[in-house]
Amino acid sequence: MIPYTIEPRVDTGVTNVTLGVWLFLASEVMLFGALFSAYALLRVSAVAWPHGRDLLSVDTGLINTAVLLAATFLVWRARARDSRPSVRRLLGSSVLAVVFVAVKGHEYQSELARGLVPATNTFMAMYFTLTGLHALHVVGGTIANLWAVIGSRRVGPAMTAGRVHALSLYWAFVDVVWLVILALVYLS
């Protein structure tokens, strides 16, 4: 039996899952940090750089921001609750996450229809890469939500609470990345 899966270790003050998810987020910061740095370097050395608001639908971006923040809010509400409402909130959050991905897909479709593809220019290339990677993170988070829901009966409320705690940290990170993308790509 692996110790400290449910109760925190006294001298470190955390459980294995909490430490693991923080480490994972640290690596994610480096991943998106590298991509944002690439964005900055390419933008400052570009001859011309289009405004995101001229090419993209800012309204759709803002609606999706609200959807994503609501999804995260529900995961945070699922923390520190007994297992039944927390399962309902995780499911609700997953539905919102699916809505986010659907809206994103619709947005891609309308851009492709207007002839805006990754090969159009480096701005569009950055847009598709950043939002695509971010959408993959939303899909991953949704799968993790459902995994926590399905496993909740088997592993019991204490373990599920640990998982929901980890999920809440992950979703907060996904939000932060989205807000940076919103600022760098849509609004600038």
Partner 1 sequence: MRIVSTDHKVIGLQYLVTSLTFLVAGFLFILLIRWQLAYPGQPIPLIGGWLAASMAPGGVMLPEFYNQLTAMHGTTMVFLGVVPFAVGAFGNYLIPLMIGAPDMAFPRLNATSYWLYLAGGLVMFAGFFLPGGAASSGWTSYPPLADIATAGQTTWLVGMFLIILSSLLGAINSITTILQLRAPGLTMMRLPFFVWTQLVTSFLLLLAFPPLQGAAVLQLMDRLAKTSFFLPSGLVVAGSSLSVSGGGSPILWQHLFWFLAHPEVYVLILPALGIVAEVIANATRKPLWGYRAMVGSALFMGGMSFLVWAHHMFLTGMGTTMSAFFQVTTMIISVPSVVIVSSLLLSLHGGSIRFTVPALFALGFLPMFGVGGLSGLPLGLAASDIPLHDTYYVVGHFHYVVAPGTLFALFAGIYYWFPKVTGRMLHAGLGRIHFWGSLVGMNGVFFPMFVQGLAGVNRRLYDGGRSYASGAAIAHTYSGQWWSVVLLGVVQLVFIANLVWTLARGRRAAENPWRATTLEWTTTSPPPHENFDTPPQVRRGPYDYSPAGAIDDFVAQDHA
Which residue number, 28 or 175, has a Cβ lying nearer to partner 1?
28
Is residue 33 close enough to count as binding partner 1 by CB under 8 A?
A: yes
Q: Which of 101, 125, 155, 169 binds partner 1 (CB under 8 A)?
A: 125
Site string for partner 1, 47-86 (x = CB under 8 A): x---------------------------------------
Spatial CA neighbour of 97 closest among 75, 81, 129, 130: 75
SS (H, E, C) 39-77: HHHHHHCCCCCCCHHHHCCHHHHHHHHHHHHHHHHHHHH
Q: Cβ-count burial of 17 within 10 angstroms (0-12 exposed, 13-18 middle, 19+ buried)?
A: middle
Q: Which of residues 137-176 bind partner 1 (CB under 8 A)?
A: none
Kindly state the DSSP code that residue 7 receives in the 8-state scheme. S
Options 19-27, 52-60, 79-87, 167-175: segment touching partner 1 (CB under 8 A): 19-27
79: left (phi over 0), alpha (psi -120 to 50) or beta: beta
Residues contributing to the site for partner 1 (CB under 8 A): 1-4, 9, 12, 14-16, 19-20, 23-24, 26-28, 30-35, 38, 41-42, 45-47, 117-122, 125, 128-129, 133
